């Protein structure tokens, strides 16, 4: 009905008052300038498949920085791993990137966001922390025999930089560390939510719970998921890197019919037939899938999830908050967003 529109109008009125009394004096760009055009695109053009062109409103200096950034990224890298300085273990994140990678090289990008009034050229200095990070990653590179490129960059807009990385590279995956929270509503100024919604490549979020060795992986996915085949293939690739095995997990409610379960089991066995030596199927019954999966994660080292696709007015405005599976998991979590 009219209630969502009324809420939007009230929010717009409050926002206008705040902007003209305070925000107009601020020198740093805000959420509407950084993300507003994408919010409008999502709301008003989501049902128009032929809407593919997005207008650019970047300054000349920003465009030059994009061109510079483009030249620093290895175009042949299969996975781009973005570091922001708050990772639990950069080494584990890079190893996981290597597990996702199906090409010869990886790209690691250390990203630092600076205020708009700061000249980017003024902070392009290799700090002791960056030198230490490069040394740590060189050890990972030698142990796993990886071809790894490292770049440290600064930016005025993290989400914009991530957009550039996905637009101007031929990588298969973008990978970053994650704490289990996704506030992707356009009222919430959280770049991660916009990255997930707008990035143009497959996207992986890794919640590191301190598990050092990965031997047993569980893929929890709905049987009717459109991405189930790709999720299984990606999980199998990860297991081959770690020399691990994986379990395809389906959780059903008690009221499912026997015929329906038998059909799902046959379909799942068919999907796993290519990976018989490293895979198995597990079916559980529970009225609370979140609690059931959380209990089972104690038996595994890595939980692999797809991305839930639910768009409501509430989630569009205020975000989806926590991923309950990720937050309650006893093992590390990898959430995969596979683009069509």
CATH at residue 140? 3.40.50
Q: pLDDT at position 339, please?
A: 80
Residue 26 located in a structural domain: yes
> Cα separation of 141 and 118, whole Å?
34
Residues 299, 246, single domain; the answer is yes
Q: How many domains does the chain have?
A: 3
Q: Say yes or no: 260 and 170 in one domain.
A: no
More confident residue, 301 or 317: 301
Instruction: Return phi, psi of residue 145, to 5°.
Output: 55, 55
Is 16 among the domain residues?
yes
Of the residues 161, 177, 193, the one at which a domain ends: 177
Is residue 326 one of the residues assigned to a domain? yes
Number of other residues whose CB lies within 10 A of the CB of residue 225: 15
Q: Could you report the per-residue pLDDT of 128-149, keeping only the tens digit for each? A: 888 999 999 999 999 999 999 9
Residues 292, 328, single domain; the answer is yes
Final residue before a domain boundary, out of 148, 177, 206: 177
Q: What is the mean pLDDT of residues 189-206?
A: 70
Do 222 and 160 fall within a single domain? no
Instruction: Kindly state whether residues 309 and 226 are assigned to the same domain.
Output: yes
Boundary residue ending a domain (160, 177, 194) = 177
Higher pLDDT, residue 321 or 173:
173
Clarify whether residues 240 and 293 are in a common domain.
yes
Q: Which domain holds residue 289?
A: 216-337
* Within a domain: 251: yes
Encoding tokens for residue 113? 């966001």
User: pLDDT at residue 125 above 90?
Assistant: no
Asked, for residue 187, whether it belongs to a domain, the answer is no
**3-state SS assignment for residue 336:** strand
CA of residue 124 relative to chain centroid, distance? 26
Name the strands in the sheet holding 279-285, side by side, starting at the edge strand that comes first in the sequence. Answer: 147-155, 105-113, 79-83, 173-177, 202-207, 332-337, 302-305, 216-220, 245-252, 279-285
Predicted confidence (pLDDT) at residue 321 exceeds the cutoff of 90: no
Q: Looking at the structure, do residues 31 and 107 belong to the same domain, yes or no?
A: no
Mean of the per-residue pLDDT values of the chain = 78
Within this chain, do residues 319 and 232 fall inside the same structural domain, yes or no?
Answer: yes
Same domain (yes/no): 41, 65: no
Q: What is the pLDDT of residue 39?
A: 40
Buried b / exposed e along 48-68 (16+ C-beta atoms within 10 A): eeeeeeeeeeeeeebeebbee
Within a domain: 135:
yes
CATH number at residue 291: 3.40.50.620
Domain co-membership, 277 together with 333:
yes
Residue 204 is assigned to a structural domain of this protein: no
Q: Are residues 260 and 314 in the same domain?
A: yes
Indicate yes or no: pTM above 0.85.
no
Residues 164 and 89 in one domain: yes
Q: Is residue 163 part of a domain?
A: yes
Which has more confidence, 41 or 304? 304
List, for residues 55-96, the tens digit of each pLDDT value.
333 343 455 555 556 567 888 899 999 998 889 999 999 999
């Amino acid at each position: 009905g009219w209630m969502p529109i009324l809420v939007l109008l009230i929010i717009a009125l409050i926002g206008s008052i705040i902007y003209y009394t305070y925000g107009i004096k601020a020198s740093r760009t805000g959420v509407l300038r950084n993300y507003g055009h994408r919010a409008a695109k999502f709301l008003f053009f989501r049902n128009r498949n032929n809407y593919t062109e997005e207008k650019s409103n970047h300054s000349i200096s920003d465009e030059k920085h994009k061109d510079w950034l483009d030249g620093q990224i290895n175009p042949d890298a299969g996975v781009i791993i973005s570091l922001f300085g708050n990772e639990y273990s950069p080494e584990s994140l890079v190893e996981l990137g290597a597990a996702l990678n199906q090409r010869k090289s990886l790209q690691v990008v250390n990203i630092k966001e600076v205020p708009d009034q700061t000249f980017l050229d003024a902070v392009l200095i290799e700090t002791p922390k960056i030198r230490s990070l490069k040394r740590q990653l060189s050890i990972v590179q030698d142990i796993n025999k990886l071809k790894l490129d490292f770049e440290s960059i600064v930016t005025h807009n993290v989400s914009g930089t991530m957009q550039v990385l996905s637009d101007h590279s031929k990588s298969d995956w973008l990978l970053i560390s994650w704490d289990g929270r996704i506030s992707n509503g356009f009222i919430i100024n959280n770049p991660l939510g916009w990255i997930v919604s707008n990035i143009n490549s497959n996207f992986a979020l890794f919640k590191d719970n301190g598990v050092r060795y990965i031997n047993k992986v569980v893929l929890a996915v709905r049987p009717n998921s459109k991405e189930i085949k790709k999720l299984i293939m990606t999980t199998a690739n990860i297991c081959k890197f770690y020399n691990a095995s994986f379990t395809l997990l389906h959780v059903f409610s008690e009221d499912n019919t026997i015929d329906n379960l038998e059909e799902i089991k046959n379909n799942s066995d068919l999907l796993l037939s290519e990976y018989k030596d490293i895979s198995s199927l597990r079916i559980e019954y529970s009225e609370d899938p979140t609690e059931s999966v959380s209990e089972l994660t104690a038996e595994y080292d890595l939980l692999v999830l797809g991305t839930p696709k639910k768009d409501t007015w509430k989630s569009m405005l205020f975000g989806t908050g926590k991923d309950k599976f990720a937050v309650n998991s006893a093992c590390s979590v990898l959430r995969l967003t596979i683009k069509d």
